[in-house]
Amino acid sequence: MTSTTLFDPCTLGAIPLANRVVMAPLTRNRAGVGLVPGDITAEYYAQRASAGLIISEASQISQQGQGYQDTPGIYTRAQIDGWRKVTAAVHEQGGRIVLQLWHVGRVSHVDLQPDGGQPVAPSAIRAATKVVVHNTFVDVSEPRALEIDELPGIINDFRQAAANAIEAGFDGVEVHGANGYLLEQFAKDGANARTDAYGGSVENRARLMLEVTAAVAQEIGAERTGIRISPVSPANGMSCSDPQAQYDHIVDRLDALGIAYIHVVEGATGGPRDAAPFDYDSLRRRFRGTYIANNGYDLDLATSRLAAGKADLIAFGRPFIANPDLVERLQRGVPLAEMTPATLYGGGAAGYTDYPRATDPSGH
């Protein structure tokens, strides 16, 4: 047992944190023209800057990487400039923020792709899931399998996006390797039927995720690089026949890269923590950096996991939506407000920046 609490300061790689509460990435679909985060996005994140670390909403590294309408990018000058306003607002409040780098792979629609092309994937296997296009949920489009000579370009898109994030003032980046998106599609055999150097064995299926992470770490420094993984989550139609072997190998190799952290979705994303058997302690033992635990955490579970040394930081997702002062509420034992589901995706200030703090006269 340890004496570590959720409210103790710590250092994450090169980033000093005021506490061990992490705001998990939350897609809100409110990017403006050109998929640029606007002033309202800066206000939203600044309101939540008391988190030890904010992980931004997933942001596509290219047009090809987009899977939902109105999600921000990090590949144009206007997007970099828009994000700079966000990071400045967070830093002004004393917060720390990293950008989550995203390529959705097959979880997309032709109307979002360059020249109306097919979404890309490790194999031409359609995902059993939907995306938001034209203000409604629609089935994803049929993907095409990436040619092996296209993969260096995708790795470079991640590398350049990481450089862009640092230019925009972020404290670091998180590679999105979870929740059924491109890098996880390669890692899990339910989506990857390739027979080349990126398919088949545990090592081959892990290759793209590890090459991307290595490129990002080389570009901006391993001490500012993290990755999110979800070993057993079925999100976006994913399955894997050997998750323990797959992710033990991945984490061994991530440890060798010396990156700052792994951010682990324990169980089904947004669902049961015991969705499938998996030994998360194995990942914890294999990784010398920081272990951020995610999925279904409340104060009691967070406290017990930290005290048992099972995690270093705890990520909270949806509680941050209706509770911009989540850290203070947890620390003071103030009841949490409930979010309004209808305003979760898209729209304006309603259900985004208008949730009151508990200390407000109109608060809870």
Residues in the chain: 364
- Say what the pLDDT of residue 291 is: 98
- Say what the pLDDT of residue 189 is: 98
For the chain, 364 residues long, the average pLDDT of each consecutive 10-residue run is: 91 97 98 97 98 98 98 98 98 98 98 98 97 94 98 98 99 98 98 98 98 98 98 97 98 98 96 94 98 97 96 98 98 95 95 89 45
- Domains in the chain, ordered, with CATH? 10-343 (3.20.20.70)
- Say what the pLDDT of residue 77 is: 98
Judge if pTM exceeds 0.95: yes
- Say what the pLDDT of residue 53 is: 98
In DSSP terms, 261 is beta-bridged to: 226, 290
- Say what the pLDDT of residue 51 is: 98
- Say what the pLDDT of residue 3 is: 86
Cβ-count burial 270-291 (b if 16+ within 10 Å, e if not): eeeeeeeebebeebbebbebbb
- Say what the pLDDT of residue 361 is: 45
- Residue 71: other Cβ atoms inside 10 A: 24
Active-site residues: which are they? 181
188 burial class (0-12, 13-18, 19+ CB within 10 angstroms)? Answer: buried
The CA-based dihedral angle spanning residues 363, 304, 315, 224, taken in that order and rounded to the nearest 10 degrees: 130
Gap between the Cα atoms of 323 and 65, Å rounded: 30
- Say what the pLDDT of residue 362 is: 47
In DSSP terms, 290 is beta-bridged to: 261
Residue position matching structure tokens 């800057």: 49
- Say what the pLDDT of residue 363 is: 45
Kind plus residue range of the DSSP H or E element containing 85: helix 77-92
- Say what the pLDDT of residue 45 is: 98
